[in-house]
Amino acid sequence: MAVIGGAETPARKAKWALLDVVVVVYALVPVLWIVSLSFKTKGTITDGNFVPREWTLDNYQEIFTTTEFVRALVNSIGIALIATLIAVVLGTMAAYAVARLDFPGKRALIGVSLLIAMFPQVSLVSPLFDIERALGLFDTWPGLILPYITFALPLAIYTLSAFFREIPWELEKAAKMDGATPAQAFLKVIAPLAAPGVFTTAILVFIFAWNDFLFAISLTSTERARTVPAALSFFTGASQFEDPTGTISAAAVVITIPIIVFVLFFQRRIVAGLTSGAVKG
């Protein structure tokens, strides 16, 4: 990072380090709190200590031995990945068209997609519930994948078309002159350059689908399609008088892991893509 208006003095470094720590602590305390809870034993869970006095993996063992959670995890991963894949593929094509082509109804398309993004999802839950019941989609994977794609697409189109607009059109012309078919020009020249945008979009869409609670709780009724955020709310203890705090915490920790992995994995790609860009002549 370039230092603006001053040399890198120790005092300056210390000031920034302090600031960074404050930000990180502020952001991470709730996360660490739930991690801490997940490692506490049943007896000490309410003691209010930040660092557990007795460590245990019981909570983790317990969630992975119940089919309820494992099944929900499979549902979550499957639904989020499929929704991401479809939304990114459709979004890429749509964004390319929006950025590059002039077709009738382009403004209407952009307007409608913006409208969908702005629409309060909660007001659509009841009609969706009825529609899915009538179509037999209720409590199925497609029953969640479809609304996720619908609400993720506007976001995908917006992010991606911004990336496509950055790519000089002459590159595509050059590829055509070099003997590429339109498909080859897109796949070999445009797509690699848009890759950082595609990955960014994929992350955003995945996170949206992964974190969704509203649709997951409203459009499912059994383990068939219930995702982890919804399943968490159905957690009970071993008996009905037992508090499931420990297991909920453990499950909450587990479902943050795929997100972290996903972001870390693609972040490398994003950075690599950005540095190799430098398109301007």
Partner 1 sequence: MADIVLDKVTKRYPDGALAVREVDVEIADGEFIILVGPSGCGKSTTLNMIAGLEDITSGELRIGGERMNDRAPKDRDIAMVFQSYALYPHMTVRENMAFPLRLAKLDKQTVNRKVEEAARILDLTQHLDRRPANLSGGQRQRVAMGRAIVRSPKAFLMDEPLSNLDAKLRVQMRTEVSRLQKNLGTTTVYVTHDQTEAMTLGDRVVVLRGGEVQQVGAPQFLYEHPANLFVAGFIGSPAMNFLPARVEGDRLHTELGELPLTDRVRRLLEQAEAPRDVIMGVRPEHFEDAALVEEHARAGGAVYRGQVDVLESMGSDKYAYFSLGGERASSAQLEELAADAGVTDLPSGGGQLVTRLSAASQAREGERVEVWFDPDQVQLFDPNSGRNLTYQGG
Min. distance of Cβ 159 from partner 1 in angstroms? 20
- Number of residues counted as binding partner 1 (CB under 8 A): 22
Answer for which of 46, 221, 267, 276 binds partner 1 (CB under 8 A) is 276
Min. distance of Cβ 275 from partner 1 in angstroms? 9
- Note whether 274 binds partner 1 by CB under 8 A: no
- Measured from the CB atom, is 19 or 177 closer to partner 1? 177
- Note whether 268 binds partner 1 by CB under 8 A: no
Residue type, 38: S
Answer for which of 189, 209, 225, 230 binds partner 1 (CB under 8 A) is 189
Whole-number Å distance between alpha carbons of 197 and 25: 30
- Measured from the CB atom, is 188 or 224 closer to partner 1? 188
Span near partner 1 by CB under 8 A; candidates 37-45, 223-231, 258-266, 273-281 = 273-281
Strand partners, 107: none
- Note whether 279 binds partner 1 by CB under 8 A: yes
Whole-number Å distance between alpha carbons of 150 and 112: 12
Q: Where in 124-183 is the site for partner 1 (CB under 8 A)?
A: 168, 170-171, 173-181
Answer for which of 37, 155, 193, 253 binds partner 1 (CB under 8 A) is 193
- Note whether 18 binds partner 1 by CB under 8 A: no
Min. distance of Cβ 156 from partner 1 in angstroms? 22
- Measured from the CB atom, is 157 or 189 closer to partner 1? 189
- Measured from the CB atom, is 149 or 189 closer to partner 1? 189
- Note whether 281 binds partner 1 by CB under 8 A: yes
For binding to partner 1 (CB under 8 A), which residues are involved? Answer: 168, 170-171, 173-181, 184, 188-189, 192-193, 276-279, 281
